[in-house]
């Protein structure tokens, strides 16, 4: 999407909505077909799954991760047990 198109979008919608749209347009193709943790199949046509599964977008890395409800629960339990530490973020250093 170029600057001109983006400006046109902004006219039609609010700034935030245009940004969201732009982001989802660019990242929807990257949406995985299964859970990023346990590889459980995700049906993109299923509304129930769309509501219960979690999508995590990493704009910097241009990656989209998908987590099934079970893995979300597990992840939350892990986070509770180890507050303040994020092994994945820490090892990468945040530089591109
Ligand atoms: Zn899973």
Selected residue with higher pLDDT from 51 and 14: 51
41-89 pLDDT tens trace = 999 889 999 889 998 888 888 888 999 999 999 988 988 887 655 555 5
The answer as to whether 61 is a domain residue is yes
> Residue 36 has which token pair?
């990023």
CA dist 68 and 52 (Å) reads 7
H-only helix segments in the chain: 3-12, 15-27, 47-52, 69-81, 87-92
Instruction: Output the CA 52–ligand 1 centroid distance in Å.
Output: 12
Expressed in angstroms and rounded, the spacing between residue 75 Cα and the centre of ligand 1 is 10
Q: Which residues surround ligand 1, an ion (CB under 5 A)?
A: 35, 37-38, 40, 68, 71
Selection from 24, 44, 42 nearest residue 34 by Cα: 42
pTM equals: 0.55
Whether residue 66 lies inside any domain: the answer is yes
For residue 77, the CA-to-ligand 1 centroid distance in Å is: 14
Per the structure, the complete domain to which residue 27 belongs is given by 3-81
Report how far residue 21's alpha carbon sits from residue 24's, in angstroms, rounded to the nearest whole number: 5
Give the chain's domain count: 1
């Amino acid at each position: 999407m170029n600057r001109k198109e983006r400006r046109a979008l902004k006219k039609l919608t609010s700034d935030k909505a245009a940004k969201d749209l732009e982001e989802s347009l660019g990242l929807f193709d990257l949406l995985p077909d299964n859970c990023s943790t346990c590889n459980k199949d995700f049906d993109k046509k299923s509304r129930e799954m769309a509501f219960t599964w979690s999508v995590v977008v990493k704009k910097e890395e241009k990656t989209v991760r998908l987590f099934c409800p079970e893995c979300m629960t597990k992840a939350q339990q892990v986070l509770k047990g180890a507050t303040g530490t994020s092994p994945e973020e820490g090892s990468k250093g945040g530089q591109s």
